[in-house]
Chains A and B, each alone.
Chain A
Amino acid sequence: NFMLTQPHSVSESPGKTVTISCTRSSGSIASNYVQWYQQRPGSSPTIVIFEDVQRPSGVPDRFSGSIDSSSNSASLTISGLKTEDEADYYCQSYDSHNRVFGGGTKLTVL
């Protein structure tokens, strides 16, 4: 099984741009899609990026996803930060029989 490693926390000011990384420990990051979930305090997770770069309907285009094979990592970028973006963010991928989550990143917008 592989692991996904995220920074424990990031912080940025409203209106700025933040990028959260997710590094795969073994196997290619490009071999299976990466998803990103947002979890606000006291709420269930909701998906904000699927299949590396796709945004579900209703998710603002301030949210974008990418993958970088050279660093074997995926990234979630949020531009024009709003206080409502403050939440925990989890990356997720899979292999044939397992679904794997990163440890989560707490985003503080201050």
Chain B
Amino acid sequence: QVQLVESGGGVVQPGRSLRLSCVASGFTFGGYGMHWVRQAPGKGLEWVAVLSHDGSEIYYADSVRGRFTISRDKSKNTLYLQMNSLRIEDTAVYYCAKDPWLRGSSGYFDYWGQGTLVTVSS
């Protein structure tokens, strides 16, 4: 069955960096687009970034563009989110999520990980 396991969260000071990882299993990782979605404490869901199955398309939310970088290592079945210049408002649970379309882009998410909490605080 599909499993997505995030890690790398923690407490970090404003302006510092953090890298999140998401290990995927149960499906052909290289055939699907992958996303990061975040949820601030007590708030709603916010889409962060997408990486297409072949790496040809990468898009970011306006709130993180220029600071965050999404990438993947197909040999390790792992999705990454490099977060630089972190701000207090980046505090959230970060989920990785899978696109349901093989070698396509559906615009939505069929499986989600359990999330990893990032707290930006001085």
Give A contacts to B, CB under 8 Å.
1, 32-33, 35, 37, 39, 44-47, 50, 56, 88, 90, 92-94, 97-104
Q: Which of B44, B50, B95, B107 contacts A90 (CB 8 A)?
A: B44
- Chain B contact residue count (CB 8 A cutoff): 21
> In the bound complex, do residue A104 and residue B59 qualify as a contact, i.e. CB atoms below 8 Å apart?
no
B27 within 8 Å of A by Cβ? no
A-B contact list, 12 entries, CB within 8 Å: A1-B62, A33-B107, A33-B108, A56-B110, A92-B45, A93-B107, A97-B59, A99-B35, A101-B44, A101-B45, A102-B44, A104-B44
Main secondary structure on A side of the interface with B? strand
Q: Tell me, rounded to whole Å, the shortest Cβ–Cβ distance linking A35 to chain B.
A: 4
Q: Which of chain A's residues have a CB closer than 8 A to the CB of B110?
A: 47, 50, 56
How far, in whole Å, are A89 and B88 apart by their CA atoms in the complex?
26
Interface residues in B35-53 (C-beta closer than 8 Å to A) = 35, 37, 44-47, 50
Beta-carbon contact of A37 and B59 below 8 Å = no
CA distance A102 to B43 in the complex (A): 11
**Interface-central residue, B35, B44, B50, B110, by most chain A CB under 10 Å:** B44
Given A50-B108, A94-B107, A44 contacting B114 (CB threshold 8 A) = yes
| Residues of B that sit less than 8 Å from A by CB | 35, 37, 44-47, 50, 59, 61-62, 95, 100, 106-110, 112-115
Q: In the assembled complex, which residues on chain A have CB atoms less than 8 Å from the CB atom of B108? A: 33, 35, 47, 50, 92, 94, 99
**Closest approach, in angstroms, between the C-beta of B113 and any C-beta of chain A?**
7
CB distance from A76 to the nearest CB of B (A): 14
